[in-house]
Structure 1
Amino acid sequence: MIKKHTLDNGIRIVMEKIDYVKSASIGIWVNVGSNNENEETNGLSHFIEHMLFKGTENRKANEIAEDIDNLGGQLNAFTSKECTCFYVKVLDENIKDAVDILSDMFFNSLFQQEEIDKEISVVIEEIKMYEDSPEDVVHDKLTELIFKNSPMAYNILGTEENLKTFTTKKVVEYMKKNYTPYNTVIAVAGSFDEQEFVRMINEKFKDWHNDNIKHVDPEAEYKRSVVGVNKDLEQLHMCIGNKTIGRHHKNYYPLLVLNNLFGGTMSSRIFQEVREKKGLVYSIYSFVSNYSNTGIFSIYAGMSYNQAEDALRTILKEMISIKNGNISDEEFNRAKQQIKGNYILGLESTSSRMSSIGRRELLYNEIQYPEEVIESINNVKKKDVLNVAAELFDIDSLSITFTGNLNKNKDIEDKINKVLGEKYED
């Protein structure tokens, strides 16, 4: 049973009690991510996530780490395009101390300029680490193309140029403007006393007041593109993608089934055809990134330069095959079963249960039970998947990003455009 309680100041608390465990996971979810930023503030949401670990009025940075370790707990955080989450997992006997640490970080962080300057260097190294990963480079470049002229296109980490402008004043002002009780959810899952937990949260958070902010997402101006990034690499890394639907769309679950059978697993179409049967790539998979109102469907493949044409051609042929209705009952049912299995297995930890209820309440203001998700997956029909494929697998609307040694392989873009221009429809 999932219960919800709203404090007088607007903070929502969602709770799922699980009697057979001896731990609890607690998360503070704030509806603030890179999607809230502009060109000047890009990277601040993620940077604030880092800074909350750098010392408060009551604890130095090392004392935050030591206090959590003394509890035998785990403390972490992450930032996405739509939200930031600070979370902890502890034994049920240590919930009060965990809430004290989380709330102290949330309200009493110092944001000293000395610590900001040090953390700027840390995040710049994080950016460099991602730039050294070809998969991340092509994924990020595809996101830029799909969500062009929209905050959804921003890199969550920001840019080195922006980071160097961050000051105590800039950090505090951004947090004061964007963090409000109305866009904050506190989620807990595991072993805990519900009334006592609400009392603890109320005690720590009741005096927080801030005006609600209305965030409007500008519509991205998607126009298909083929873009390369030059890097001295032994392989060519490619992303093929299209703009797709948000999590609330009626075709969300058919999209998940389509992704699973097309490239989501080792038994999927493109893994079997491109890697196993033809040996054209080492790594290939598809995935979907769904947000509140929009999303990306993408295929990643890493290959040698001379295999690029054959690999891309095979992928596109498989798209058209599915568009033409070539989905067997066996692979359709297997895809649904895999999605259900992954979902249920993922709910066997208090952390994932907390994430599930916290994210759902934050972004959609609703409670969704596992039984409802399973029913939605079961209700997907093959015709629903084909309807999604008809729009998503339109060759003329696919964007492609690639990275590799383009100085030595100057004709790669021409080869990609040549394959895209070939006739595939039967």
Structure 2
Amino acid sequence: MTVKISTLDNGLRVVTDTMPHVETVTVGVWTDVGSSHEHEHQNGLSHMLEHMAFKGTARRSARDIAEEVENVGGYLNAYTSREQTTYYARLLKEDIELGVDVLSDILQHSTFDPNELERERGVIIQEIGQANDTPDDIVFDMMQEAAYPDQPAGRPILGTIERVSNFSRDDLQSYMSHHYKADEMVLVAAGNVDHDRFADMAAEKFTAIDRSRPGTKDEITYSGGARLEDKDLEQVNLILGFDGVSFSDPDYYTAQVMSMVLGGGMSSRLFQEVRENRGLVYSIYSFMQSYTDGGTFAIHAGTGPDQVAELIPVVAEEMHKLTRDVSADEVNRACNQMKAGMMMAYESTTNRMEQLGRQMMIHGRPVPREETLAKLDEVDAVAVARYMDRLLTGGKLSLGAIGPLRGLEEYDRVAARF
């Protein structure tokens, strides 16, 4: 591997993946905090903090932050997930020091100017409104709420309009001070980068972040149930969710392969049967969402109100078939799709930064490609069938649906099919 790791005196881990043949570099800071760390009254605070980090520091205005990076042709962004928040910059290799300087500045010296806070509050409320007006977006939150009711993992990452409207500057400062700790963060660079020089930059710039914080994330407990909204739309958007696997589960790779076989591409069983053979949907796919202490497996589809009654029994039957009959060819094809996707991603500095940062957050170490490929090679048809059987007997269905629901069966009847 081309990966090197150093740890600074304050506990910040500095990781590089050197790609000497490229002219660019992506620098990212991963923080071990997301919406799953929030108390109920804090829901949406991780995401708001991510926004406000770009709105001015002691020596840069919000405009300065944007212009300094874009003046050299760079790109600056961030995103919040349920377990992490990531800030990153993509730049030409000669501008890496600027990227480190800007990222260290916004994560250590943000001022949370009250005027900027009020403006950004409005932006986030518009973002929430946009999500609420997008059925194939909001249905994910509905399924998540059904899967994890009354838990941080079941609340929307964006928060609610009511809570976002009331967050104060003190709330942001307190949350950042409590959660953003050096030994719970990773600074990653992938691309044309020299590790020792990069580590020296980090040691010079990241001096105002302390180490250590108490653990604050509650373990998630899968529950299941339904969150439905009957709405006058052209389609029913629905997600069928099931109790899945954590990143450390022995069945993690088997679950990934199973999802690919069932609904991972145009050759998958769901796509072929539901779309190609029956014409019930335009889009249908399955996916795994894993966390450090649990996860969900889910199927998303959009269909007409008169087709939903046929769609769900077909999906259920295809899932049950996988417990009885899986071919080696299907498993090989799924594994090859995953391997190819992984290798293609390695050609991008941003993807390599994201993979490396995620691995450090989840596993505390880089995971060599060879290790992942070997794990995939261990998955066979028997394992896929066994895991599907585990999935169908593992917990209640989580159903999220929005649209004209007149053709949707009662939740208990839908759940009984699986």
TM range (shorter): over 0.9
Alpha-carbon offset, residue 235 of structure 1: 1.1
Q: Is 1:375 paired with 2:406?
A: no
Kindly provide the amino acid, as one letter, of the partner of residue 60 in structure 2: R
- For residue 328 of structure 1, what is the aligned residue in structure 2? 327
Q: Which residue of 2 aligns with 1:267?
A: 267
Task: Give the Å deviation of 1:278.
Answer: 0.8
User: Partner residue of 1:127?
Assistant: 128
- The number of residue pairs the alignment matches comes to 417
Unpaired runs of 5+ residues, structure 2, are: none
The residue aligned with 1:391 is: 390
SS in 1 for 2:341: helix
Deviations 1:31-80 (A, max 9, x none): 01001101111101010110011111111111111111111111110000
- Asked if the contact 1:239–1:400 (Cα under 8 Å) also holds between the matched residues in 2, the reply is yes
> 3-state SS of the aligned residue for 2:317?
helix
Q: Tell me how far 1:111 sits from its aligned partner.
A: 0.2
Query: What is aligned with 2:351?
Result: 352
Q: Quick one: which amino acid aligns to residue 282 of structure 2?
A: Y
TM-score (norm. length: structure 1): 0.94
C-alpha separation between the residues in 2 aligned to 1:396 and 1:176? 38
Partner SS, residue 307 of structure 2: helix
Report the identity percentage.
36
Q: For residue 60 of structure 1, what is the amino acid of its counterpart?
A: S
Are residues 149 and 396 of structure 1, via their aligned partners in 2, closer, same or farther at CA, if it must alter by over 3 Å? closer
- For residue 365 of structure 1, what is the aligned residue in structure 2? 364
Contact 2:182–2:211, Cα closer than 8 Å, also in 1: yes
Alpha-carbon shift at residue 390 of structure 1 (Å): 0.6
Match of 1:299 in 2: 299
Q: Is the 8 Å Cα contact of residues 150 and 218 (structure 1) preserved in structure 2?
A: no
**Partner Cα separation in structure 2 for residue 293 and residue 304 of structure 1:** 36
Q: Offset at 1:221?
A: 4.8
Alignment CA distance shift 1:395-1:277 (3 Å) = farther
- The match for 1:310 is 310
Give runs of aligned pairs for residues 216-295 of structure 1, distance below 5 A. Answer: 216-222=217-223, 224-295=224-295
Matched-pair contact (CA < 8 Å) for 2:30–2:186:
yes
Shift of 1:206: 3.1
TM-score under structure 2 length normalisation: 0.96
What are the equivalent positions in structure 2 for 1:13-412 lying under 5 Å apart?
13-222=14-223, 224-324=224-324, 326-394=325-393, 397-406=396-405, 409=406, 412=408
Q: Distance in 1 between matches of 2:74 and 2:217?
A: 37
* Separation in structure 1 between the aligned mates of residue 46 and residue 381 of structure 2, nearest angstrom: 40
Task: Return the alpha-carbon distance in structure 2 between the equivalents of residues 97 and 187 of structure 1.
Answer: 15
Matched-pair contact (CA < 8 Å) for 1:149–1:220:
no
SS of match in other structure, 2:150: coil
Contact 1:92 1:191 in 2 (8 A): yes
Q: Deviations over 1:147-183 (max 9, x none)?
A: 2232111211011110111111111011111111111
* Secondary structure, aligned partner of 1:306: coil
Per-residue CA shift, 1:86-127, capped at 9, x if unaligned? 101111111112211111111121101111111111111111
Cα distance, 1:185–1:327 mapped onto 2, change above 3 Å:
same
Counterpart CA distance in 1 for 2:62 and 2:299 is 41
Q: Could you say if the C-alpha distance between residues 70 and 375 of structure 1 is closer, same or farther in structure 2, counting changes exceeding 3 Å?
A: same
- What is the letter of the counterpart of residue 97 of structure 1? L
What's the secondary structure of 1:282's corresponding residue?
strand
Give the aligned residue type for 1:379: E
Indicate the SS of the match to 2:273: helix
Q: Which amino acid aligns with 2:272?
A: Q
SS at match of 1:206: coil
Structure 1 residue runs without a partner (length 5+)? none
Cα distance in 2 for residues equivalent to 1:196 and 1:90: 16
Letter in 2 for 1:253: Y
Q: Which deviations, in whole Å up to 9, do the C-alpha atoms of 1:189-227 show, x marking residues without a partner? A: 1112221111110011134224422234233251x3233
SS in 1 for 2:146: helix
Equivalent pair of 2:153/2:220 in contact (CA under 8 Å)? no
Aligned 8 A contact 1:395 1:420 in 2: no
After superposing the two structures, state which structure 1 stretch, 3-12 or 140-149, moved more: 140-149
CA contact (8 A) 2:239 2:400 kept: yes
Kindly indicate whether the alpha-carbon contact (under 8 Å) linking 1:232 and 1:404 is maintained by their aligned counterparts in 2: yes
Q: Superposition RMSD on alpha carbons, in Å?
A: 1.6
Indicate how the Cα distance of structure 1 residues 395 and 248 shifts in structure 2: closer, same or farther if over 3 A, else same. Answer: closer
Which one is further off, 70-79 or 146-155? 146-155
How far off is 1:280 after superposition?
Answer: 1.3
Matched-pair contact (CA < 8 Å) for 1:31–1:363: no
Counterpart Cα distance in 2 of 1:338 and 1:218: 32
Structure 1: distance between partners of 2:414 and 2:215: 45
Q: Secondary structure at the match of 2:78?
A: strand
Shift of 1:413: 3.8
Query: CA offset at residue 393 of structure 1?
Result: 2.7
Task: State the Cα deviation string for residues 361-410 of structure 1 (Å, max 9, x = none).
Answer: 1222111111111111112122221221011134973222211134xx3x
Cα distance in 1 for partners of 2:103, 2:205 equals: 10
